[in-house]
Structure 1
Amino acid sequence: MKVEIDYNIFDSIKKDDDLIELNYLFNIILYKKRHSAYISDPRIFELPSFQNIPQGTQDVLKYSLLQDVMNTQDKDCLICAQGEVSLDEKKFSIEEGIRYLSQPVSIVVENSLNDSHFFKAIFRCLDDSKTLQMHFDNLWIQFENSGGCSNITNYIEGRSQFYQNKSKFFRCFVILDSDKLYPEDFSDKYAKVKLFLESQKITYHILEKRMMENYMPDDTIQKNIKESEKEWKNAYLHLSDSQKDYYNIPDGFIKGTPQKKKKLSKRERKKNTKNSQWDTLPAQIRELYSDLSPKNFENLKHGLKIGNIKSYLPNFFNDHKTVYKKSLLKRTEHQNNRNELYDIVNKIKEIL
């Protein structure tokens, strides 16, 4: 994060306690290059408060003035006198700046334990700068439970109360499964949530695919699904890329516990037609999966049954041999936004 320190901050330092507080702020900013400090007024160099900060910090700020002349990019926040008056604009007093810059970035997900595997995979594979991995290793990124879409607003409002209703303190990224059943499923179930997040100036992303598990590379499925689920695996891998995007891996087409398979007669097996459950599916789903054979529909209709799949399956993202840059990008190359995973990476990096 690019942090600008205003002239009036240095000019307001009158007591030893003020100087200690300012030095503590610089320690937070400069530790392991977590943030970048900038000044834009050379008069700061003449103030006693500047002369009393460590020489290393002085050198960084002098260099930042030169960098600021060459770099016209806006700063992410401003530390200034009377910064505490601001509610949503990123202006902070020294005390507020310490609170704001020392807190980790929160990635708000439905399940912090399971969904974190997806993010750690894209950190590892798609951030060539390794910035995200470094922040995660230093505990500067944390995953937090939203409790699902319906609870996002309550979660954010609770955090807002903690911040004394100052939305400027939010350093978080919200990600939501689209839960889309097919590509043209445009029902905007998140309309109210999006308006609320935008009112709080909180960055969010809604996945193009149905859920995070739908981004899993084919080779990962091939390698990690055991032979006992061979029929499901083979049927799934025969789906097209778009069909895989919207297939509900845990629940399949027909949610519920599969019934014991009925032993079919030779005549029934020869007939080989999809059963009446197929006819109960929405027309758009039947159209998307229209080339699905009766046998593959039968194998896929109740989803993948491997114990606690919602916690077991996301772990596959940790398979370094099958989850890497090329394999992840292959799962998005046919999408409307083929750069979606890079967009997620860049949105999070902007908050850091």
Structure 2
Amino acid sequence: MLIKFDSDLFHQEDNIKNISFLIAIFSDNYRYDFIAELSEIKNSNLFNQLSSIDQKLLEEYFNRYITQPKKEIDFRISLKNESDKDLNFEESKIFFNQQYLLILENNLNDGYFVDAIINCFRSKAKKISRHKNKDWFIYYNGGGCTNIENTIEANKKRYQHLPKDNHKYLRCFVLIDSDKKYPTQANSTERQKLFDYLDENEIKYHQLYKREVENYLPIQILERIEQNEAFIEVYKRLNDDVKDFIDLENGLPDKNRDTLTLELSNLYNHILDDDYNFLRKNSLKINNFKTELPKLFIRANRELLKDRIKHQMDSNEFENLLEKITNEL
């Protein structure tokens, strides 16, 4: 994120406390990139009254800006209110000093999955890790797909006293699984309603390709779960598409093959009859499935995770997700 100070602010001496406060926020462990046009402010009374540290920071960040590839200005600290990207001092203090929320359906269980991605793709997740370690970036509980809208609406109320539409002040990103039973299945009504709401509120999101988070667990990790040998042997014989969309907790639908929908029949057509019948009655067994299975992501490494998604159309799903989030910080 790149923030620009409007030069006019430096020609009103009573702005000094607000400018110093924002410089402190922005420069704290290089939280945000910021600039002010030195040639336009250096001779101002306000600039000369700033502490030597603040003056050096303004010079350092400006010099870095002009020597690096040009970046687009994301926000401007200004009293002019010429666009939604202009924030006055009150707005800026609230907007830039808040935590960035990664909204998950379940922030505890899904958090193990996100942690694995961050830890296994460190070069792509440097900024995220730094913000997470400083508590500027946190996992936030959405309470499931149907409750995420309520979660966001509750957060929007915090900004009702500010001049712009309150969703303009939200700093969040939504990560949600597909909940699909086969690759080409359309989004459920509930999910599509959520995505429409997120678009209306200008909130970025990412829908995972696979059915659920646990479908990303590599076979090498699933093999370590005791007393699942028979299931694992059958699971190994499944193709990637079935592994992506099988319900690991409940197995395949308990239906005869000739009663399946065309889509599911095509998805399962390579499965041997004995394996199909086995998966109708058996699934992956682990106590407290929803809470304990995600913890196994602690054992993941980059190679195993990459191997698990190499067949997808987006074989860089993890790196692309990290890039999307990083661009928001």
Separation in 2, partners of 1:138, 1:4? 23
The answer for the alignment partner of 1:289 in structure 2 is: 268
2:204 pairs with 1:203: yes
Shift of the alpha carbon at 1:245? 0.6
Change in Cα spacing, 1:93 to 1:344, as seen in structure 2 (3 Å) is: same
Spell out, residue by residue over 1:75-134, the C-alpha distance to the aligned partner (whole angstroms, 9 max, x if none).
221111145x86xx2321122212111111101111010001111111111240522122
1:188 is displaced (CA, Å) by: 5.3
Match of 1:271 in 2: none
Contact 1:127 1:345 in 2 (8 A): no
Tell me, yes or no, if structure 1 residue 344 matches structure 2 residue 321.
Answer: yes
1:93 corresponds to 2:88: yes
Counterpart amino acid of 1:103? Q
Structure 1 residue 279: deviation in Å? 4.1
CA distance in 2: counterparts of 1:324 and 1:13, whole angstroms? 54
Q: Which protein shows a greater Rg? A: 1
Provide the rounded CA distance (Å) in 1 between the counterparts of 2:50 and 2:304.
49
Q: What RMSD, in angstroms, separates the aligned Cα atoms of the two structures?
A: 2.1
Q: Does the residue aligned with 1:132 lie in a helix, a strand or coil?
A: helix
Q: Which residue of 2 aligns with 1:266?
A: none
Pair 1:81-2:60 in alignment: no
In structure 1, how many angstroms separate the alpha carbons of the residues matched to 2:24 and 2:147?
Answer: 36
Could you tell me which of 121, 138, 141 is aligned with 1:145? 141
Question: Separation in 2 of the partners of 1:33 and 1:68?
Answer: 13
SS of structure 1 residue aligned to 2:96: helix
Between 55-64 and 304-313, the greater mean CA deviation after superposition: 55-64
- Deviations along 1:190-216, whole A, 9 cap, x unmatched? 333222211211101111111111111
Instruction: Measure the CA separation in 1 of the matches of 2:90 and 2:120.
Output: 37
Instruction: Provide the residue aligned with 1:304 in structure 2.
Output: 284
TM-score normalised to structure 2 length: 0.90
Q: Distance in 2 between matches of 1:98 and 1:349?
A: 21
Q: Which stretch shifts more, 136-145 or 124-133?
A: 124-133
Shift of 1:149: 1.8
Range with greater deviation from structure 2 (27-36 or 90-99): 90-99
What's the counterpart of residue 313 of structure 1?
293
1:91-240 maps to which residues of 2 (within 5 A)?
91-128=86-123, 130-164=126-160, 165-187=165-187, 189=189, 190-223=191-224, 225-226=225-226, 228-240=227-239
The superposition leaves residues 266-300 of structure 1 with CA deviations (integer Å, 9 ceiling, x where unpaired) of: xxxxxxxxxx5444433322321222233333443
State whether residues 109 and 146 of structure 1, in contact with CA within 8 Å, keep that contact through their aligned partners in structure 2.
yes
Shift of 1:338: 1.2
Aligned to 1:23: 20
Match runs of 1:244-283 below 5 Å? 244-254=243-253, 277-283=256-262
Q: CA deviation at 1:59?
A: 1.9
| 2:304 corresponding residue in structure 1 | 327
Shift of 1:304: 1.9
1:269 corresponds to which residue?
none
Partners of 1:37 and 1:98 in 2: CA distance: 14
1:231–1:299 contact (8 Å) kept in structure 2: no
| One-letter code aligned to 2:92 | G
Determine the C-alpha separation between the residues in 2 that align with 1:97 and 1:142.
20
Cα deviations by residue, 1:2-41 (Å, 9 ceiling, x for unpaired)? 1111112222332xxx433322211111111111121135
Query: Hey, what's the Cα distance between the residues in 2 that align with 1:180 and 1:348?
Result: 24
Unaligned runs of 5+ residues in structure 2 are: none
* Counterpart pick for 1:43 among 40, 43, 48: 40
Looking at structure 2, the residues matched to 310 and 61 of structure 1 have their Cα atoms a distance apart, in angstroms, of 49
Instruction: Give the unaligned 5+ runs of structure 1.
Output: 256-275
- The 3-state SS of whatever aligns with 1:304 is coil
1:313 Cα offset (Å): 0.6
What is the distance in 2 between the residues matched to 1:35 and 1:126?
22
State the 4+ residue runs in structure 1 displaced beyond 6 angstroms: none
Q: In 1, distance between residues paired with 2:42 and 2:245?
A: 59
CA distance in 2, matches of 1:277, 1:336: 31
Distance in structure 1 (CA, Å) of the matches to 2:250 and 2:48: 65
Partner SS state of residue 175, structure 2: strand
CA distance in 2, matches of 1:241, 1:96: 48
Conservation of the 8 A alpha-carbon contact between 1:90 and 1:168: no
